[in-house]
Structure 1
Amino acid sequence: MNQWRWGRQSLRRRLLTTVMVPLVLLLLLNSLITYVGALIYANYVHDKNLVDDTLTLVQLMASESPDDKVTRQAQFLLEYEPQGRNYFSVFSRKHGLIAGNASLQPPSGLFTDGNEPQLYNVHIEKHALRAASIQMIDPHDAGDQLEVTMAETLHDRHVEAQQILLLSIPAQALLIIAAFLLVWLGVRTGLRQLDPLTKQLANREHDLAPIGDHDVPVEILPLTRTIDGLFARLRGMLALHERFIADAAHQLRTPLAGLSVHAERAQGSSDPVTIGDALNHIQRLIHRANRTSSQLLALTRAQTTEHEAGDSEFLDLAQLTPELVGQRVHEALAANIDLGYDGPAGPLWIDGDRHRLQELLDNLIDNGLRYAGSGAVMTVMLTRDSDGICLAVEDNGPGVPPTWIERLGERFFRVPGSDEEGSGLGLAIVQRIAEWHNARVRYLSASSKGGLRVEIVFPPATPPTKHT
């Protein structure tokens, strides 16, 4: 179990790792800054002491006799350093080196007007030194000028900086550890804010209501809003399923009841005429039930408005429409209806789905074949206008009274007084498929003499240019 938990990604472990690595890097950077700061301070203190030692040597030179300006004891004390080595030199303009190390000579151009010691860096015997030099009038010979220099190695400066660093590292480490513990406690406490949300979701069974933004931390709002979007899609799918079940029960109740009645007629009679009539009714009811179930499935598919990759393609309605109309000519002839097509020769491109468009046009033609009446004329027209590409199906049948035109496209709506059997789903399917294509449906009277005209206006599309 523990191995399984450690093998999975942990938000807490990732957050702590994300914080711990910068903290360790911060400790290293702080140590470097501390060392540099300590070295700067050590240089400042040693430079001050070096200047003081140079002035002390000047005073010593003024107090010594002219024959022996620096005694051996004084020279020993000046050069003595437990952890390193000190250097000094006294140069006379007239006599050259008077005392000290001949290699320690101030560079030319160092001195300017003034009596302050000048600090500079120098190398002697592969040693890096810090030196302080000053010019003075020889107290025993006013016509001579002396250059007095004191220098020391940098060893003590680095040692003192390292000591300061070693003293500061434990305190900095404790501070980093304390900060890490506080971050760990904060992460642990912060993640506990997810417990109410987790418990709320765990207690749900069939509730797909949105989580909402109330009491949800800002950082996980994108997650909860994504979950709300998923819940919304699930509610839509469940609503479609429930609507399909309700529609199926509503539409199949009548033919199933009729099937039961006529089946009982056939079973309870020995008259061949009665039995034949009952079987004919049963056959018609079965055909109606089949058509109703097919239209219910088509309506459910049409109500799925989400577009997925590959659902649509560029289609030329001027080429597709006459092909689809031609497939229904034999049915129109059987119903004694003159079915024709009128459209342009040039291409009319839309972005759509071929199968949905075929279902749309089939339902429009079925509606005309069913209600236009024998001897009617039905025309499928295709035009381009300022609104887009218009696909229209027009007939010269009895039409629909203006009172009911606005209700065309509702599920299960059938114009009162119609003698033809139907499910009232054909135009509802047309409406849903048009919405899927971002098209608009218009229901109009074909002419003053009657008839119905249904127009679907599609937004035009520009297909990609083919390169040869």
Structure 2
Amino acid sequence: MKSLRKIITRSILLTAAIALLLVAINMAFTTNWMFKYSGSQPLKYAIADISDGLSSVDGTYTLNAAATTMMEEQYAWAMLISRDGQVIWDKNLPGDIPRHYTLTDVASFSRWYLNDYPVSVWEHPDGLLVLGDPKNSIWKYNITSTEDTIAHVPGLMTGFLILNVLSALVLALFLGLWLYHKLKPLYNGITALPKKEPLSLPTGGVTGEVSRILNETSVILSQQEQQLAHRDQARTEWIAGVSHDIRTPLSMVMGYASELESNSSLPATEQNQARIIRQQSQRIKSLISDLNLASKLEYHAQPMELARVSPAALIRGVAVDFINDGLPEPYSLSVDVPEEANGPILLCDQALIRRALTNLIDNSIRHNPRGCAIKLSVTKSTDGLVLKVSDNGKGYPPELIKNSGGLDESPLLGNHGLGLIIVRRIMKIHGGNIVFENLPQQGCATSLLFST
């Protein structure tokens, strides 16, 4: 639910930011428009400069160069009306402009238009200077307002801005709540999918199509879950049944092979063959046991018998068992338990942890036929204990170390059999972790990490 709230909060903030941005853009656009187009209007000082540049010599009027440039840049035509209403000077004067005006005519066009030409006027010593623009080029409209209204304009603008901001925030809040109401069922449905819970979301409204897809996905996942559970149950039962059916005839083969091996009346060659049969039968029995245990561990069918165990005593017991069973000559087995590691107690299934350590030692022996030095150790870590099995043999293949942390267990299978897979699954049901590494000098190490 926190994720949904975060999404809704961000949506509200984003909507508010967009609304405020639109307000700012509108204000900037309006301000720019006002400055741009108001700036194109003739300036009073420019009209005055043009008027000052118009002079008369012996009754002939002349517009100097500077005034001519200003006039041509800002206006289309100009004329000077004398005090008796007669046009006494003009420049680029259109043909439809009269050349004589009464006082009423002057009062009419001085602030607006003359024959649809926008005009501006300025006082000249000899009369009235009229500057005109082309038709339909300037819109002139008189706006009259009281002093009180003008005095309230800043407050009105501020209030308008505040109203826009509040409207944007209210809109953002409304959209956020609406979005929250629509997305909440979808969020609950999505979070329920990994839990394999059935969904029945309403399929109406804006999110109806997504809800329908989630409902269908829930049905498909439920069916797949049932199929997988049925398949896994069948496989587990099949493995357990095969293991049980093979165990009896295999025990008989091992028993007869043991009798033949110890029969002194047989030639040495036949006794050796009987020994090989017994050893290989024992290996088959171990493989069947590994397969059955791996299957139970994968589907959590292996019962856990948790007990408080001393890890130091545990690894010493495993080492003693190997030595008592007759460790081959090229191999050596040592135990390293520092003083601080004697105290901690580990809550675990002792038989399974012994099996994990045994598998790791067997793996070192199997993959180093010329012998190696194997060491069992226990150390304290920052958040638990580490049981480690290391050797100075040829080490692990690089692909095993690279891919051992993923979900795919095939790199652990390789030519290592089920031993490493069983170790990993034992650590998984204990809530621990396993790390495979090659040592810098020579050999490899496997660390079993327990949290305490």
Q: Please report the TM-score for the alignment, with normalisation by the length of structure 1.
A: 0.39
Instruction: Using structure 2 for the length normalisation, give the TM-score.
Output: 0.40
